[in-house]
């Protein structure tokens, strides 16, 4: 509840100040670092301080990640089909749940619990790599594309806000 409230109040402001790309790199990079460290800390897994600290910190990084990915997905949407396209982007984000459940059975279920954390760290590092290498649209580019590249029909010209 606390992390949700903080994400709601401070998360959007923070991502707006530093930018979506930087926020996503911080969220995914920090989460990957925590998952990697947790995989190596197996002898300490029975310590409550470690479990509580890990859960709180990873939750903060995950919230940063989620808050930062939404504007990037919005900017990639063409205004003509934005509702459908954005819905698909958000649905694809939920593929991690069944993949994580499968990964848990393949790693922890087979006696290698630390590999579950390391696999998650690898996945989040792939996100960091993508954020550092792929060029995503900036604010307003999709609207400009629609205005200048779509054919205009006869009649009253469209009003652009």
> Which tokens is 141 given?
């580019």
Residue 16 lies in a domain: yes
Q: Which residue has the tokens 């006869």?
A: 154
- For residue 145, pLDDT beyond 80: no
* pLDDT confidence of residue 47: 95
Asked whether residue 94 is assigned to any structural domain, the reply reads yes
Q: What is the pLDDT of residue 144?
A: 63
For 18-67, the pLDDT digits (tens) are: 999 999 999 999 999 999 999 999 999 999 999 999 998 999 899 999 99
Query: Residue 1, Cα to own-chain centre: how many angstroms?
Result: 20
Nearest to 119 by CA among 137, 141, 96: 96
Whether residue 140 lies inside any domain: the answer is no
pLDDT at 93 (0 to 100): 83
Q: Distance between CA atoms of 110 and 116, rounded to whole angstroms?
A: 11
The confidence score (pLDDT) of residue 11 equals 86
Whether 145 maps to a domain, the answer reads: no
Q: Which domain holds residue 69?
A: 2-134
CB of 118 closer than 8 Å to CB of 57 = no
pLDDT recorded at residue 95: 87
pLDDT tens digits for 2-23? Answer: 777 777 788 888 998 999 999 9
Nearest to 112 by CA among 104, 123, 120: 104
156, part of any domain: no
How many separate domains does the chain show? 1
Q: Is residue 23 part of a domain?
A: yes
- Percent of all residues in the chain with a pLDDT value above 90, rounded to a whole number: 48
b/e 50-72 (16+ beta carbons within 10 angstroms → b): eeeebeebbbbbbbbbebbbbbb
Rounded Cα gap, residues 161 and 11, in angstroms: 27
- CATH number of the domain to which 116 belongs: 1.20.1250
Phi and psi based region of residue 19 (left: phi greater than 0; alpha: psi -120 to 50; beta: remaining) = left
Q: What's the pLDDT at 132?
A: 93
Does this model's pTM top 0.85? My answer is no
Residue 33, both tokens: 């670092």
Assess if residue 155 is contained within a domain.
no
Residue 151 lies in a domain: no
The predicted structure's pLDDT at residue 61: 92
The Cα 19–Cα 97 span in angstroms is 27
pLDDT band at 140 (very low <50, low <70, confident <90, very high): low
């Amino acid at each position: 509840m606390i992390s949700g409230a903080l994400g709601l109040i401070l998360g959007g402001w923070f991502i707006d100040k530093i930018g979506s790309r930087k926020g996503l790199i911080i969220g995914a990079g920090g989460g990957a670092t925590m998952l990697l460290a947790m995989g190596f800390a197996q002898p300490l897994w029975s310590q409550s301080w470690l479990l509580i600290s890990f859960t709180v910190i990873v939750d903060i990084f995950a919230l940063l990640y989620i808050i930062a990915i939404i504007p990037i997905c919005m900017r990639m949407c063409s205004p003509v089909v934005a509702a459908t396209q954005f819905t698909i982007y958000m649905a694809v984000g939920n593929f991690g749940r069944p993949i994580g459940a499968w990964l848990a059975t393949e790693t922890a279920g087979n006696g290698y619990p630390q590999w579950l954390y390391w696999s998650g760290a690898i996945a989040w590092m792939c996100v960091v790599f993508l954020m550092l290498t792929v060029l995503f649209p900036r604010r307003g580019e999709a609207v400009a594309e629609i205005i200048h590249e779509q054919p205009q029909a006869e009649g009253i010209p469209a009003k652009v806000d």
